[in-house]
């Protein structure tokens, strides 16, 4: 039996929360949304600039717990080089994966993103991990605000 690579999960989360990738604001984004997770106090804004069938810029800003920040950082790295439509499908897939048990090794299947599946050990933190992804989808849909408490 293979043990859960707990150190690996924690290492990736810690690294991305301390040194978030693509962190900052865009002055004139084509899409922008502000996401809030009132339960934990996380606030994540997602900024996108689309150019044809690609993102020419992809950034996030905000404040919150380590998981919310790491998730946003990992998300930008995972999505920024995908065509917007594919990024949308990917975000929906990851949101689904985070909310359920997955067979096999999450790192093998999702690379560093697999670290986010650690939230299954802390169900109360699930919304911290999903916030950035929801906010991205809202931004891409052309809307401006997202909350984990909307039904
Ligand atoms: Zn949080």
Residue range 49-60, pLDDT digits in tens: 999 899 999 999
Rounded to the nearest angstrom, the distance between the alpha carbon of 36 and the centre of ligand 1 is 10
Region 112-117: mean pLDDT is: 90
The radius of gyration of the chain from alpha carbons, rounded to an integer in Å, stands at: 15
Ligand 1: centre distance to CA 136 (Å): 17
CB-CB neighbours of 55 under 10 Å: 22
Distance 63 CA to ligand 1 centre (A): 9
Instruction: State the distance from the centre of ligand 1 to the C-alpha of 55, rounded, in angstroms.
Output: 27
**With the CA atoms of 139, 106, 41 and 85 taken in that order, what torsion angle do they form, in degrees rounded to the nearest 10?**
0
pLDDT computed for residue 120 by the predictor: 80
Percent of the chain with pLDDT over 70: 93
Fold classification of 5-150 is Sufe protein. Chain: A (3.90.1010)
pLDDT of residue 131 exceeding 90: yes
From ligand 1's centre to the CA of 52, what distance in Å? 34
User: How much is the mean pLDDT over the chain?
Assistant: 90
**Centroid of ligand 1 to alpha carbon of 53 (angstroms):** 32
Could you tell me the distance, in angstroms and rounded to a whole number, from the CA of residue 142 to the centre of ligand 1? 25
pLDDT at 24: 98
Which residues on adjacent β-strands are paired with residue 105? none
> For position 136, what pLDDT does the model report?
98
The phi, psi pair for 131, rounded to 5°, reads -55, -50
Q: How far is the CA of 69 from the centre of ligand 1 (A)?
A: 8
Tokens 């984004």, located at residue: 29
Please check whether residue 45 is in contact with residue 39, taking contact to mean a CB–CB distance below 8 angstroms. Answer: no
How confident is the model at residue 1, as a pLDDT?
40
> Distance between CA 119 and CA 99 in Å, rounded?
9
Token reading at 109: 């299947």
């Amino acid at each position: 039996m293979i043990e859960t690579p707990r150190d690996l999960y924690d290492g990736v989360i810690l690294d991305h929360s301390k040194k978030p990738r693509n962190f900052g604001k865009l002055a004139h984004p084509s899409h922008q949304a502000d996401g809030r997770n009132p339960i934990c106090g996380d606030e994540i804004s997602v900024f996108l600039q689309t150019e044809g069938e690609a993102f020419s810029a992809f950034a996030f800003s905000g404040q919150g717990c380590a998981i919310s920040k790491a998730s946003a950082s990992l998300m930008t790295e995972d999505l920024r080089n995908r065509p917007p439509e594919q990024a949308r499908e990917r975000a929906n897939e990851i949101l689904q994966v985070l909310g359920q048990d997955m067979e096999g090794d999450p790192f093998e299947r999702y690379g560093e993103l697999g670290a986010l599946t650690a939230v299954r050990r802390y169900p109360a933190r699930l919304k911290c991990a999903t916030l950035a992804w929801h906010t991205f989808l809202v931004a891409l849909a052309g809307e401006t605000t997202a909350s984990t408490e909307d039904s």
